[in-house]
Structure 1
Amino acid sequence: MVHHHIALIPGDGIGAEVLPPAQQVLRHVGRRYGVDFTWTSYDWSCERYLREGAMMPEDGLDQLRDKDAILLGAVGYPGVPDHVSLWGLLIPIRRGFRQYVNLRPIRVFDGVPSPLSGARPGEVDLVVVRENVEGEYGEIGGRLNRGTPEELAVQEAVFTRAGVTRVLEYAFGLARQRGGGVTSATKSNGIVHTMPFWDELVAECGARHPDVGWDQEHIDALAAKFVLEPGRFDVVVASNLFGDILSDLAAAVAGSIGIAPAANLNPERAHPSMFEPVHGSAPDIAGRGTANPLGAIWSAAMMLDHLGHPRAAAEVVGAIAAVLAGTDVRTPDLGGSATTVEFTEALLRHL
C-alpha cells in the first residue's frame, strides 16, 4: 500500500462542494491500485481574509511543505478584490514551491457539444503549458501620484533565461511523450524586448530537440486559430499571461469551463505541486448543490499521475469520458439538472 498525505484547501464558494467528490473518487480508485490517502484541511479563504486580514497564516508554506500534494477548490468572493485573494494565497504557493509549470489539458468529450461545429470529439485533445511564476505577472512596478491627473501605473514583465528555458524544456518533453509537436505563443512583432527573447529561447530549445516539431504563432492569430481550427494543436507553450488567456479560451471551446482541470507543477518534485479546477468559486451558484465536480475530479486524476499512479489516473479520466458519452447525467452548466452528488454517484458507479 502506497500512502500519500494531501493538503486540502477548499477555499471559497463552490470550492468546498467540489473537493469531497474528488476525495471520494480518489478513495475509490485508490483501493483498487493500492493507494491510500491522509487529508489535512485548511480554512484559507476570502472568509479568513475578512475575519483575520490574511488569506493564510504567515507560516502557511511551512504547514504545506511536508505534504505530497495540494488539492485546491476555488478562491475568490465578492467583497474581496481578486488581486488580494490571488496574491494572498495562490501566487505565494506557486512561487514559494517553484510550481513553474501550469498544465491545462483541453479535450472535447463525446457527449459534451462544443459551441464550435468544427470542434469534434477525438479531434481536439491539446495541452496548454503556461509559465507560472514570472513573465507578465511580475511584482516589479508601482503607482505614483494617486488620485491626481498625473497618476500613473507601471508594471514590469520579467522573463529570465532560466525561467523560460525550464518551461520550454518541459513543453518539448511533453510533446515527445505525446507524439506531437509544440506551438509557441508569442507577440514579438509588437512587444520589442521580452517576446523576441522568448522566441530566441524557443529556437534554442527546438535545436536541442530535433525530433520534436515546433512552430510559433502571434497570440492574436493563435486565439483566432483556437476557435477556427482547434484540432491542429497538441502542446501549446506560452508565457504567464498568454497561457492564462489561451487555456480559458480553450476550455470554452471544449464546451464548459466546469470540466477544465489545472496542475501547478514543480517537475523536480522538490516541493509539493498543487492541483485545482479552473472554474473559480462561482458565488452565484454556491450552496445550491449543483456545481460540476468534474474539474476537481480531473484535477485529482492529474494529481494521481504526478504522484506516480498513471494507470489509476487514466481510469478516472476514462470514467469521466464514459459517463459523459454513455449517460444523460449532467449538471446545469452542461445543460442538465443533476446535482453534484448525483453526478458524482454516476461516476462512482462506472468506476
Structure 2
Amino acid sequence: MKCINIASIPGDGIGREVVPQAERVLKAVAEVHGGLDFQFRSFPWSCEYYLEHGVMMPEDGLEQLKPHDAIFLGAVGNQHLVPDHISLWGLLIQIRREFEQSINMRPAKQLAGIQSPLLNPKDFDLVVIRENSEGEYSSIGGRIHQNEDEVAIQNAVFTRKGTERPMRYAFELAAKRRGHVTSATKSNGIVYSMPFWDQVFEEVSQEYPSIKTDSQHIDALAAFFVTKPAAFDVIVASNLFGDILTDIGAAIMGSIGIAPAANINVNGKYPSMFEPVHGSAPDIVGKGLANPIGQIWTAKMMLDHFGEAELGTYLLDAIESVTAKGIVTADLGGSYSTEDVTNAIIEEVKRKS
C-alpha cells in the first residue's frame, strides 16, 4: 500500500468548500483502485487566521508542511479582511518560493459537454509551463520621493538557471505529448530580459532536436489563444506572461472555476503544491455554487506527479463523463450544487471500476 500524506490548506472563501470535496474524490479513487492511501492533515491558515494571529501562517509553518508528500491548497485572499499583498505573500507565494516550486503548470482543454465561449474551439488541449520563482514578480525595487516627484521601480530578474528550468520541463513534457513547444517572448519591446529568454530558449532547444519549436510575442500569442488555441501543445512563459496566458486559457475553457494548477518542486527537496486557478470568491461562499472541478482536476495533476498517470487519466475521464451529461454548476450554465457535481464524479469513478 502506497501512503501519500497531504497537507490540506483550504484557505479562504470557497476554498473551504472545494477542498473537502476533492479530498472525497481522492479517497474514492483510492478505495476503488487499491494500492493507494491518502492521509490528509488540515491547516487553518487563512485571512481569518491572520486577523486572529497577525500572520497568515505561524513562524514554523513551512516546517510543519515540509514532511508531507504534497500540499493541497484551496484559495488565498479576502481583500475585505486583509490586503492581497499581505495574504498572498504571507502564504501562497512564501510556500512557492521557500519550497523552490520553480515550475507552475496549468493545462487548458475543451472538456466534454462544456460550451467554450469560442465559436470553433476545435478541441484544444494545451499546457502552459510558467516560470514560478523570479522574472517580473521578483520582489526587487522600491519607491522614492513624494507627490509629483514620486518614482516607483520594479526590477525583473531572469537568471540562467531559473530560465532554463521551465524550458527543459516544457521540452520533456512535449516529448510525452505532441512534440511542440512555443516560447512566449516580447523581445521586440523589452530590450534585455526577453532577448536573454530567446537566447536561452534557442540553446535549450538544441538539446531536444526531435521537438518542434516556435517563438511568439506575448501580445500576438494572447490573441492566438482566442483565435486558434488548438494550434498549441506546450507553451513556456515567464512568470507574468504565463500568469496572463493561463487566465485566458481558463476563460476559453468556459470558466475559471474548472482551471487547475500545479506548483512543482523539481529537485525533490520539498513538497509540490496543487491548487485551482480560481480565487476565494467571497460573493458565493455558502451558497453551494462553487465549482469543484478546478480543485478535483488538481487532484488529477497530483496523481500524475506521483507517477500514477493512469489513475490521473481515469479521474479526468470521470470528470468529463459528468460534464458531458450536463451536471455542472451555475458558472457553466448548470443548476447543480458543489456537492451534486462531486457526488456525480464519485459515482462515475466507482462505475468505471
Partner secondary structure for residue 262 of structure 1:
strand
Question: Which residue pairs with 1:105 in the alignment?
Answer: 107
Q: Deviations over 1:303-351 (max 9, x none)?
A: 11112211211111010111111x1211110101111111111111111
Can you give the 5+ residue segments of structure 1 that lack an aligned partner in the other structure? Answer: none
Residue 149 (structure 1) shift: 2.0
Deviation sequence 1:56-81 (CA, Å, 0-9, x none): 11111111111000000001102322
Q: How high is the TM-score relative to the length of structure 1?
A: 0.97
| Residue in 2 that maps onto 1:128 | 128
For 1:199-348, list aligned pairs within 5 A: 199-325=198-324, 327-348=325-346
* Aligned counterparts of 1:266 and 1:13: Cα–Cα separation in 2: 27
Distance 2:10 2:269 in 1: 24
Establish whether residue 189 from structure 1 lines up as the match of residue 191 from structure 2.
no
- Give the Cα separation in 2 of the matches to 1:89 and 1:175: 31
CA contact under 8 A between 2:179 and 2:210: conserved in structure 1?
no
Separation in 2 of the partners of 1:110 and 1:273? 29
* Cα distance in 1 for residues equivalent to 2:210 and 2:145: 53
Determine whether 1:88 maps to 2:90.
Answer: yes
What SS does structure 2 have at the residue aligned with 1:192?
coil
Q: TM (normalized to structure 2)?
A: 0.97
Give the Cα–Cα distance (whole angstroms) in 2 for the partners of residues 151 and 58 of structure 1: 35
Residue aligned with 2:39, SS: strand
- What are the within-5 Å matches in structure 2 for residues 26-37 of structure 1? 26-31=26-31, 32-37=33-38
**Contact 2:30–2:37 (8 Å) recurs in 1:** yes
Q: List gaps (5 residues or longer) in structure 2.
A: none
| Matched residue type, 1:336 | G
The counterpart of 1:349, out of the listed 343, 347, 350, is 347
1:13 maps to amino acid: G
Evaluate the alpha carbon distance shift between residue 212 and residue 66 of structure 1 in structure 2; reply closer, same or farther with a 3 A threshold.
Answer: same
Distance 2:295 2:276 in 1: 5
Partner deviation per Cα, 1:92-123 (whole Å, 9 max, x = no partner):
11111111110001011121011011213xx2
* Structure-1 separation of matches of 2:266 and 2:112: 31
Residue in structure 2 matched with residue 55 of structure 1 by the alignment: 56
User: Following the alignment from structure 2 to structure 1, what is the Cα–Cα distance between the partners of residues 174 and 34?
Assistant: 28
Per the alignment, residue 76 of structure 1 pairs with 77
* Matching residue of 2:22: 22
Alignment coverage as a number of residue pairs: 347
* RMSD, matched Cα: 0.9
Inter-partner Cα distance in structure 1 for 2:219 and 2:81: 33
User: Deviations for 1:3-31, whole angstroms, at most 9, x for unmatched residues?
Assistant: 01100000000000001111111001112
Q: Does the aligned pair in 2 maintain the 1:168–1:202 contact within 8 Å?
A: yes
- The secondary structure found in structure 2 opposite 1:149 is helix
